Amino acid sequence: MLTSVWVDELDEARTREIRELLLAARAADGRPEITDEGPLPFGDGLHLLGRAGDALVGYAHLDTTGDSFGRQVAELIVHPAYRRRGYGAELAHTLVGKADHNVRVWAHGDRPAAARIAEHEGFHRDRELLVMHTPVREDWAEPRLPEGVTLRTFVPGSDERAFIDVNSRAFDWHPEQGSMTVDELLATERDDWFDPDGFFLTERDGRVIGFHWTKVHPAAPGEFGGKPVGEVYVVGVDPAAQGGGLGKALTLAGLRYLRERGLEQVILYVEGDNAPAIAVYSRLGFTRYNVDVQYAQ
């Protein structure tokens, strides 16, 4: 029998339990992104803990603040050792009963079990987030910038506002990225992984018109030979500057930097319906590796 409880704040013991569950899921599935220390990969909101006896067998997080369009977003994870016992369906039903009618729910990986639960709760497949991957390549050429455009790296304490402004214009359609604030960027700059040398900006006439922010993930057991992996974290171009090859040039600048750091593998996340971006990444050697699915009522 599953016992479920909602909490709005996590104490040390519950945080430790949730981390252990997420680490087990990462070892089995490759996601979510979680480390042995530091904060859990969730923001504010509510936490749903599902127990079978004394064991934490499932966990869900409900972001009550919502995405850029005000829609609540949740994700639900069952411990790999307790799957195929109906716990996921019970947790999903409890989650849906608490959330707004417009909630979106993430499923890591395109799994038949998640699809069955979603259908049972009246959800449909609303969004795909592709994970693409490539080994580091020697044929990543020197980026060719449009005339009058210069390339440099991000300067902390100076470039935050310029980046946020162009990011907002480039991703005004995006449920998460487009709403990023200066304060959120400053908080990210304090994270261990932040590296301004891997954060590229392009300018024309002294105005930032594009960026490529790279990231390096620590080694994860069972993935990519247990070695660190680079990521094309986010590439954005001001809509007024699109169409001149700037996105490809920025992507190449970041890829070459990750190669220079000695990394052997690179991943990226891209919306499944963003055909132009997928075409650019495919020509650079990326292939589909996995997919996360968001379900909506």
Closest CA to 200 of 267, 250, 162: 250
Q: What tokens appear for 252 in the block?
A: 């190449």
- The listed CATH number (3.40.630.30, 3.40.50.300, 3.40.190.150, 3.40.1710.10) that belongs to domain 133-291: 3.40.630.30
For residue 164, say whether it is annotated as part of any ligand binding site: no
This prediction's pTM: 0.85
- Per DSSP (E only), the strands in the chain are 3-7, 46-52, 55-63, 73-78, 104-108, 124-135, 149-153, 199-204, 207-217, 229-237, 265-271, 287-296
For residue 227, say whether it is annotated as part of any ligand binding site: no
User: Which is more confident, 68 or 196?
Assistant: 196
Q: Tens digits of per-residue pLDDT, 140-186?
A: 999 999 999 999 999 999 999 999 999 999 999 888 888 899 999 99
Angle at 286 between CA 198 and CA 210, to 5 degrees: 40
Q: Do domains 3-122 and 133-291 have the same CATH topology?
A: yes
For residue 297, say whether it is annotated as part of any ligand binding site: no
For residue 58, say whether it is annotated as part of any ligand binding site: no
For residue 271, say whether it is annotated as part of any ligand binding site: no
**Mean pLDDT, the chain, as a whole number?**
93
Give me the residue spans of the domains in the chain: 3-122, 133-291
Q: Tens digits of per-residue pLDDT, 83-107?
A: 999 999 999 999 999 999 999 999 9
Of the chain, the end-to-end C-alpha distance in Å amounts to 27
pLDDT of 204 over the 90 cut: yes
Q: Tens digits of per-residue pLDDT, 111-133?
A: 899 999 999 999 999 999 999 99
Q: How many CB atoms lie within 10 A of CB 187?
A: 11
**CA contacts within 13 A on the Cβ side of 243:** 3
Q: Tens digits of per-residue pLDDT, 33-51?
A: 887 887 888 878 999 999 9
pLDDT band at 258 (very low <50, low <70, confident <90, very high): very high
pLDDT band at 221 (very low <50, low <70, confident <90, very high): low
pLDDT band at 222 (very low <50, low <70, confident <90, very high): low
pLDDT, residue 60, reads 96
For residue 77, say whether it is annotated as part of any ligand binding site: yes
For residue 186, say whether it is annotated as part of any ligand binding site: no
For residue 242, say whether it is annotated as part of any ligand binding site: yes
- The listed CATH number (3.90.650.10, 3.40.50.300, 3.40.630.30, 3.40.1740.10) that belongs to domain 3-122: 3.40.630.30
For residue 260, say whether it is annotated as part of any ligand binding site: no
pLDDT, mean of residues 273-292: 93
pLDDT, residue 104, reads 95
Q: d(Cα 195, Cα 199) in Å, to the nearest integer? A: 7
pLDDT, residue 43, reads 77
